[in-house]
Amino acid sequence: MDEPPTEPPTFSAESYFATQPPPSTLDTDVHGVREFLARQRKQGRKVVLVTSGGTTVPLELNVVRFLDNFSAGTRGATSAEYFLKAGYAVIFMHRQFSLQPFSRHYSHSTNPFLDFLEIDSPPPPTSDAPYPYTHDPAPPAPLQPQITVTPTERIALASVLRAYKAVHEHGTLHTLTFVTVNDYLWLLRAVSQEMSVLKRNAMYYLAAAVSDFFLPRQKMSEHKIQSGKGSLHIEMDQVPKVLKPMVAEWTRDGYIVSFKLETDQTLLIPKARQALERYGHQVVIGNDLHHRKHRVVLVSPAPGSSFAKHRAGKPNNTHADGIIPTDYIESWIEIDPSPPPSAPPKEIEEDIIDELLKRHQAWVDSGAE
Ligand code: PMT
């Protein structure tokens, strides 16, 4: 008798967290986030969680091989700077070694910092110096080399450095790292649960590129998978879509912005609408791979659609109650892809954040008693 076709194995968010172990640093990370949030609440600041970079899926417990997701972390790191500039406190949750706010300007691969430094040799010792011809036991202190910044780079560096130092002085940036999709999911849940106390003053800006498939721990080989046995067959499970519990349970009042990356531009709007219908959050930013640095589309339920009314009144209800958006607004944001060399440098994240700040404020105001 034929076996009945088996359903592809899927995890719900609940069964995922019940079976996959948390990262060993989770408690320490949560403690740090709690302290950071307490300080920001005292100062009355809005807080945004920015996720950035790609997650990995290890294939072995003693990991030698892993699958990776595309993302340099440019979107997240750049956006974090504009949120900080606007007075938000930022929890920057990023893939280890991906780009970070401020230091991103001097990435080792595209703009190596050392190329901007010059070393002025110390003057040679004068001929009448006693050392080493006397028996003086104390040699002179070595002359400190003078290091300077290339003159053409000084203005740009000073501006980055000023912003960086101000953020450190005000304590408005808190950094967390993840590597695997498992680290990411546990951290996202814990951080959004902590941030839920901020109610509408919390924003979530989910720019990370999250793996869609993973190998549950129970199915992973302990040691390096051996080659020499022909092709490798691995069956992976689907990663649960955590936006749904995030909206409905973890942080009911937060303003949630997710991203959708496609390579076919015509899919951006339908996929963004589909995400809003499925998860019931506020904004999806669609970007296509090749134009993402100068064109994006913000898709959200239209004000006045039945869904929007429902969310404004009862933030814990989503389409799960049978209510979906009836209408959408789509706002394109574009910048010149090839500006003249004389034009001041422009990053699309500046305009994205500018628009989100207005929408977040409207969200805060609409929930005020
Ligand atoms: O870093 P760069 O090189 O500048 O690139 C930036 C970017 C192109 C990666 C970024 O702008 C972007 O589009 N990120 C989202 C990529 C994507 O399509 O993600 P997704 O379809 O896997 O997920 C959609 C959204 O749901 C994301 O916001 C993600 O954080 C979230 N998600 C996804 C899966 C999952 N299990 N849980 C999630 O929370």
User: What does the pLDDT look like over 253-269, one tens digit per residue?
Assistant: 999 999 999 999 999 99
How confident is the model at residue 322, as a pLDDT?
47
Q: How confident is the model at residue 309 (pLDDT cuts 50, 70, 90)?
A: very low
User: Which 3 state secondary structure label does DSSP give 269?
Assistant: helix
> pLDDT per residue over 14-42, tens digit each?
999 999 999 999 999 999 999 999 999 99
Task: Give the Cα separation of 185 and 220 in Å (integer).
Answer: 18
Contacts of 33 (CB under 8 A, 6+ apart): 91, 174, 176, 190, 191, 194, 195
**Which 8-state DSSP code applies to residue 367?**
T
CA of 93 to the centre of ligand 1 (A): 13
Are 88 and 172 in contact by the 8 Å Cβ rule? The answer is yes
Answer whether the bond into residue 344 is a cis peptide, omega within 30°: no
Atom of ligand 1 nearest to the CA of 51: 30
Give the pTM. Answer: 0.90
Q: What is the ipTM of this complex?
A: 0.95
Is the C-beta atom of 251 inside 6 A of ligand 1? Answer: no
CA of 285 to the centre of ligand 1 (A): 10
CA of 260 to the centre of ligand 1 (A): 6
Instruction: Decide the pairing of beta strands 89-95 and 255-262.
Output: unpaired
Q: Which of 20, 214, 260 for mutating ligand 1's site (highest number of atoms within 8 Å of CB)?
A: 260
Q: Enumerate domains of the chain plus CATH numbers.
A: 8-115+145-226+233-253 (3.40.50.10300), 262-282+290-369 (no CATH)
Task: Give the Cα separation of 309 and 313 in Å (integer).
Answer: 6
Instruction: Decide the pairing of beta strands 56-58 and 66-68.
Output: antiparallel
Is the C-beta atom of 30 inside 6 A of ligand 1? Answer: no
CA of 140 to the centre of ligand 1 (A): 58
Say whether pLDDT at 315 is over 80.
no
96 CB burial (10 A radius; 0-12, 13-18, 19+): exposed
Are 279 and 273 in contact by the 8 Å Cβ rule? The answer is no
Question: Mutual orientation of helices 74-85 and 348-366 as an angle, nearest 10°?
Answer: 60
